[in-house]
Structures are given as C-alpha cells and as structure tokens.
Amino acid sequence: MSERLTKSAARNIFYGGTLFFLAIFIALVAQSHAYILSTSSNNDRLTDAVVRGKHIWEKNSCINCHTIMGEGAYFAPEVGNVWVRYGGKTDPEGAREGLKGWFAAQPTGIEGRRQMPQFNLTEQEANDLIDFLKWTSEVNTQNWPPTPAG
C-alpha cells in the first residue's frame, strides 16, 4: 500500500463518511419524532375545545405580547403555566372564573402598568382559550421556563 492518500481513497472516505453521518442523522430525527409523539406532548388529551382555543390564541396574536412555554414576546407574563398560577390544580372552577374575570377586566387602566387589550371574547371563546391554557400547562416542559412568570 502506498504511503500517500490516493484519489480513490479520499473519495471513499468522503462518500463513506457522508453516508455514515447521514444514517446517524436520520436515526436521530426518527428518535426525536417518536419521542415528541409518545412522551413530550399530551396528544391523548387534545380535545376539540383545546384546538379551538389554540385558534383563538393565534387569531388574537396573544403571542405578540406573551410567551408560552418560553417562546414569544417579553412584554407580558408567561402564560404556559398561568392555569397553575391561578390555582387550577386544586381549584379548577376558581381558576376558570379568575381567568374569565381577568379577560373581562382588561384594560385595567392602572397608571404605570402595561396594558392588555379587551378582546370581547364570548363565553365559549373564553372557555376554549382557558382549555387551551390548561392543556398547555399539563405538557411536561421539564420545568421550562425556569422562572414562573417567564
């Protein structure tokens, strides 16, 4: 065998290496996809109300001010866990009423506080939105974001 790297050896290393790492990449993508579907989201708890609530969330661009699971804008508090912060785990009815009251009371007009607009949600829209926020709070985010209000 010659001491120098021949052209064909270099080509084999290139193609072999490319195929090898492509195979690893495909395996990792498949593993992540399976993990997302089976472990890291609550697909089994998705209801029509949750889906409608997500559309209301999108239609009103709540994410232009809020973060959800750490993603979004930093003008207003994190809402991925707002259901829990309103006591939804121990008192679901109270949390629902509290959130509805919050929506209805906007804007507060309190001087020096950032303001949230009035969206004039119907009873059904508010309930769907709250179902979406409740569902979101039950996704295992591995304690993300690290500070409760984002």
Site for ligand HEC, rule CB under 6 A: 60-62, 64-66, 75-77, 79, 82, 85, 99, 102, 108, 113-117, 119, 129, 149
Picking from 72, 99, 70, the residue whose alpha carbon sits closest to that of residue 84 is 99
Question: Which lies closer to ligand HEC via its Cβ, residue 20 or residue 144?
Answer: 144
To ligand HEC, the closest distance from the beta carbon of 143 in angstroms equals 17
**Closest CB to ligand HEC among residues 52, 85:** 85
DSSP string, 31-64: HHHHHHHHTSS-GGG--HHHHHHHHHHHHTTGGG
Name every residue whose Cβ is closer than 8 Å to that of residue 46 and which is 6 or more positions away in sequence: 135
Nearest approach in angstroms of CB 70 to ligand HEC is 14
Whether 127 contacts 96, CB under 8 Å: yes
Nearer to ligand HEC among residue 50 and residue 62 (C-beta): 62
First CA to last CA distance, the chain: 63
Shorter beta-carbon distance to ligand HEC: residue 2 or 122: 122
Toward ligand HEC, which CB reaches closer, 17 or 117?
117
Provide, rounded to whole angstroms, the least separation between the CB of residue 105 and ligand HEC: 10
- 3-state SS, 110-139, equals CCCCCCCCCCCCCHHHHHHHHHHHHHHHCC
Least Å from the CB of residue 28 to ligand HEC = 35
Shortest Å distance, C-beta 41 to ligand HEC: 20
